[in-house]
Amino acid sequence: MVKTLLSLKGVSKKFGDIQALKPIDLDINSGEIVGLVGSNGAGKTTLLRLMAGVYNPTAGSVQLSNGQPVSSMRHELGVVPESTGLYSRLTAWENIRYHSRMHGVLDATSWARTEKFADHLDMKDHLGRHTKGFSRGMKQKTALLRALAHGPSILLLDEPTAGLDITSARTVRALVRQLRDEGGTVIYSTHHLSEAEQVCDRIVIIHNGELRADGSPSKLLESTTTHSLEDAYVSLTQDQARTRKEDEDRESTFSKWWRSLFTPRIPSSILGGEESE
């Protein structure tokens, strides 16, 4: 029997006069990889932030399977945002451990999970290194380990392979599929159809703040009578994409807010005056 872990009912979001996201109904079920696909400015990140409880919806509700609002139970979520938010003066493991302690997870438990997944990401030998000198790929892998260390029910990934080299991107995709095979649930935001086709069991297409399609790749092809996901996407998004407005003049503020919720600030006395990357 399919179990729904996260449910969005009539969820919409406005920023002033801008309708960033129109009413959406969406259920996220256990043991699946759901791809959020859309162009830049389509509303994917807004939807992810609603799912994570970073934003409160203008209308509608976002609830976990126990009926509780997601904003009150963030420990059920593992989040890898666009900005990794790592503390450069701490090692990879110290970043992960600090985050896990904020969720009340014992160091031994956090380490066991970190060690397990670090093997798959080829990060085990780098856990004792300071993140200041890390490449973009290593920072992204550390953020992924941090998101997994407290054993979340749902993993939310915002463009997890953006800026990664081919090998690192393949490694991240392989780990995501492994998590699914072990019963995990992943929401995977991307604007690359080929990546969604490789990774996702189900694809949700967002365009101009609207949910245009929701189904397996084969179902999308059938419903649009097309022979490729690219053709299916084009047929569903023929109207011109809007410019990205929801984050204009707010990007810096929202980025800091997003980071503060999932990677709380460390006192400057500990970091010697440097509190972020």
Q: Is residue 37 part of a domain?
A: yes
Q: What angle do CA 186, 245, 162 make, to 5 degrees?
A: 40
Assigned domain for 209 exists: yes
Residue 18, domain member (yes or no):
yes
Domain containing 42 equals: 4-263
pLDDT recorded at residue 233: 92
**Residue pair 144/121 in contact by the 8 Å Cβ criterion:** yes
| Residue 219 lies inside a defined structural domain of this protein | yes
Separation between Cα atoms, residue 90 and residue 270, nearest integer Å? 10
Place of tokens 């996201």: 21
Domain count, the chain: 1
Type of residue at 251: E
Whether 273 is covered by a domain: the verdict is: no
Question: Is 31 inside any structural domain?
Answer: yes
Residues in the chain: 277
Q: What is the pLDDT of residue 258?
A: 59
pTM of the model: 0.82
On whether residue 276 sits in a domain, the answer given is no
Mean pLDDT by 10 residues, the chain (277 residues): 88 93 94 92 90 92 88 84 87 94 91 92 93 90 93 90 85 91 92 89 94 93 92 89 55 59 56 49
- Judge whether 250 lies within some domain: yes
CATH number at residue 138: 3.40.50.300
Asked if residues 28 and 63 have their Cβ atoms less than 8 Å apart, the reply is no
Q: Using DSSP, state whether 59 is helix, strand or coil.
A: strand
